Every structure is written in C-alpha cells, then in structure tokens.
Amino acid sequence: MTKNLTLIQFFHWYYPSDGSLWNHFADETNRLSKLGITGAWLPPAYKGASGGLDVGYAPYDLYDLGEFDQKGSVRTKYGTKEEYIRAIKQAHRNGIQVYADIVFNHKAGGDEKEIIPARKVNPDNRTEFISEKYDIESYTKFTFPGRKGMYSDYVWDWHSFTGVDRDEKAQDNAIFSIQNEYGEGWEPVNDDEMGNYDYLMLNDIETRNESVREELKKWGEWYLQQTDVDGFRLDALKHINPYFMADWIAHMRSVAGRPLFVVGEYWNVAQTEVLLRYIDRTRGEIQLFDTVLHIHFHNASQAGKDYDLSGIFHGTLIEANPMMAVTFVDNHDTQPLQSLESPVDFWFKPLAYALILLRESGIPCLFYPALYGSDYKDKGPDGEDHDVHLAAVEELKLMLPLRYEKAYGVQRDYLDHYNVIGWTREGDDEHDHSGLAVLMSNGDEGFKSMEVGKKHAGKTFIDAFGYRKEKVVIDKNGWGTFLCNPGSVSVWVLR
C-alpha cells in the first residue's frame, strides 16, 4: 500500500549533551513508525571541534563517528559509533529511513598551525580585497592524531581551504581569502549575497582542489558502507559550489546501489527564484527545504488575523516546484535563541502543521520539539539568560495518523478568504475510510462550504479533534459546510 512520506528532524539545538540521542532514537522508532513517520534526519554524527558537546556543525573529523579519543571525548554529543549504527538498524526494522547530516562547507579545530599567504576581504563584499597578500598563521592542518590514519590518511592543510577568519600571529579576526593555487578568491556559489558568500565560518573547504573532491567522495562511500543510511541532509548549500555538490551526490547515487533521498538547506526566505536556480544548477539532484514557506508561517503566527491566509503559499518553493520541496515549520536554527531565530508562535503551529501534513504536495519534516516538547536556557542577543519552554503540539498525535490513514485522493482547494481557508481530500480506494476536510481560521470562527466528492454523499463527517461538536452531512452533490473555532484548525473525517 502506498504511504505518504513523512520526515522528522530528530533533534534540536538544545538536546542534552549526554550522549543519549542515538539510543533515544532507537527506542522511539517503533512509536514513530506507528505515527506514520517514514524518514528521520539525524544530526551530524562525526566528531566536532567541541568533542562531546558539539552540536555537529563545526566538524573536526568526518571519520570519527564516536570511535576515537579526540577533542576530549570518544563519543559525540549524541553517542558512540556503535550506538549510531544500532539506531539506524533499529529504524530500518521499523520501516524508517535515516538521513545523515552532511556539513561540507567548513572544518574546525585544526591540529596544527601553518603559515599561509592570504588577503583580507571586505566582510560586506567578499569580492573586494582590502589588503595585499601577506603571511598569516592559522590552524589549517588536520592530522587527526587520535585516529592515526585509520580509514583514511588524508591530511588537510591550507591547500584544502579557501579561507579562514583568524590570524594567530597578529591576533587578528577578519575574513582572509587564502591565496592558494586554485584561484585568487572564492569558489563560485549560487547567489551574490555579500558579493560572494562562499565563506561562512571557520576553515572553508576548497572543492576546486581535486584531492579534496576525491577525499570527500571516498569518505561518502565509506560512510554509506559503514552506516547504511538512506540519504542525506546537506548543510549550508548557499556557501558551497553547487557544481561540486551535484557531482558528489551523483557520485554517491551511482555507487550506492539503492535510491538515496537528498534534501538541502539553502537559507533564503525571500527569493524562491534563487532556490529554483539552485535546483537547476544541481540538475534536480537535491530537493530543498521550503524556507520561504517557513517564514510565511512565522509571519502569519506574528500577525494573527492581519495576515492574509489566502496567500500563505504565494511565492513559496512548494507553489513553484512542489516535487522538489521539503516543507517544515521550525528547525534547529530558527528555534528561539538560535542564529536564524524565527519561531512560529504556538497558537499557529497546528495550522502550519495541517498545511504541510494534510495536503498532497511536498514532503513534510516535523521538528523534534513539536512532538516531544523542550525546556532550555541560553543567552539571548541581549546577553541575558532566557528560559525557553517549547510545548509539544498535542494535535500532532492525531494529525500524523490522519496523514497516514486519510490524506489521499483528489485535493480541492478553498484558499479563498483572508482569514478562513480550507481544502478537502476525496480519499481513494486503496485506503479505507480515507478523505478529509480541513478548515482553519486566523481570526473569528469560520465556516465554509466545500466539496469532498460525490462518493461521500449522505455520509457524516465529524471533527477529529473534537473542537466542533457538529455533524456535517454531505449533500447529494458531495458538498458539506465545515466549521472551525477562532484561531484554530479542525480536520473533518468520516464518522
């Protein structure tokens, strides 16, 4: 039986650094599968510069999945290599695919300093040099003494990087373009933000160097072989040469011997055309997260009834190229106190999740705290400590099975009102009792006449959440008048 694909990002920024995530995931795979989850994006599994505390986005050694005593710890923030592999096996037993988080933009925590020819650039326009070439000193040599050449003896040095942000000799923080044999400046990237946004942070990887490209391919093959993952989530694509990324994915697909699911993070919340250009340049090898839809959710949640819900999909990736969009409500960067902080207010989350889970297009990706909740503390931009409480979205415990059991068949849209929008799914013959009607309002109580299909004539629909007590009987033409509460969503299903 065909099943809707449903992903979960099984972590968030503030998940405890106690090495428990892989085991926790393994323990949850049975429950997740019963909820209809078909794939899980797990955080970077390799050793970061902060060892057992590293969230994973400052990678030190891609070959150390919690196996070697490096950076003060054998395990990573999430556990050991053995636990990671066991968790993936457990997921597979429960019919859940696992996607590995791949950070190819930069490395951190170099083992030795080197003297490097470099030029400073203007941080606001990276194509503009603001110094002549001179020697700086930086931690660009990675020898991985704790691993002792196991799996790979590749040593990263300054020829493997395009830039750094620290001169140890002059104690100077700036953006330095390394003057190596591969070019005077940065690699080509997909858009011209900051002039050229190849450089994001730390030691920026140089993919014009053939030995780097070969090493990353070799590593990818090793990773697939060791872990048996089913695909990848690619980090920071805005800052990586798109032609390299497409080649790497094509290579991985050719050696995998099985289909690989690939979704990338390209952070642009305003210009879907930039995302579409990226998809073109990577020859459709990489689906993208719909960052524009995310910011619509954020804005809608802030504006309340002043947001025009009929335009919620206007200008989004899922509208422009539904086959390539992975939709999400929040992630580890947008959650409160994080770098791209743009959370969706709690009241709107059930509406946003209905918009990604119960429609026909897009592959939805849930965020861990939406299912599990989270409490954490961190410093905000104001330098003060803040306590954050993210409550679980209770509706998801019903909405996920509704996606799995009922969200099939023809979709009819009624995205036609400033405050009250809805749609129906007719259901299909493959899934018994399938079909549903969704109505949501960001203002007052809502009602709307919608068609669910003639095959439902005479049948009764009820609100699966129980927010509305009415019974809606479908007329002979297949129409019913559905209702929802103020600032709420109701999902109507066959009684």
Binding site for Ca ion (CB under 5 A): 105, 198, 204, 239
For the bound state, the minimum distance from the C-beta of residue 199 to Ca ion, rounded and expressed in Å, comes to 6
Angle subtended at Cα 290 by Cα 284 and Cα 296, rounded to the nearest 5 degrees: 155
Residue 198 vs 285, nearer CB to Ca ion: 198
Q: Which is nearer to Ca ion, 105 or 342 (CB)?
A: 105
- Fill in the DSSP letter of residue 176: E
- Give catalytic residues, as residue numbers: 235, 265
Ramachandran angles phi, psi of 170, nearest 5°: -95, 5
Identify which of residues 36 and 220 has a Cβ nearer to Ca ion in the complex.
220
**Token duo for residue 271:** 């210009």
Q: Are 208 and 186 in contact (CB under 8 A)?
A: no
Q: Rounded to the nearest whole angstrom, what is the least distance from the CB of residue 317 to Ca ion in the complex?
A: 22
Smallest separation, CB 131 to Ca ion (Å): 21
Q: Which residues contact 412 (CB under 8 A, 6 or more apart)?
A: 423, 424, 426, 450, 451, 452
d(C-alpha 79, C-alpha 81), whole Å: 7
Percent helix, percent strand, percent coil in the chain, to nearest 5? 30, 30, 45
CB-CB contact of 374 with 390 (8 Å): yes
User: Considering beta carbons, is residue 24 or 239 the nearer one to Ca ion?
Assistant: 239
Which one, 187 or 285, has the nearer CB to Ca ion? Answer: 187
Q: How far apart are CA 178 and CA 137, in angstroms?
A: 11
Strand order in the sheet with 488-494: 411-414, 420-425, 436-441, 488-494, 460-463, 472-473
Q: How many CA atoms lie within 13 A of 322 on its CB side?
A: 8
Q: How far is the CB of 381 from Ca ion (least distance, A)?
A: 25
Shortest distance, CB of residue 120 to Ca ion, whole angstroms? 17
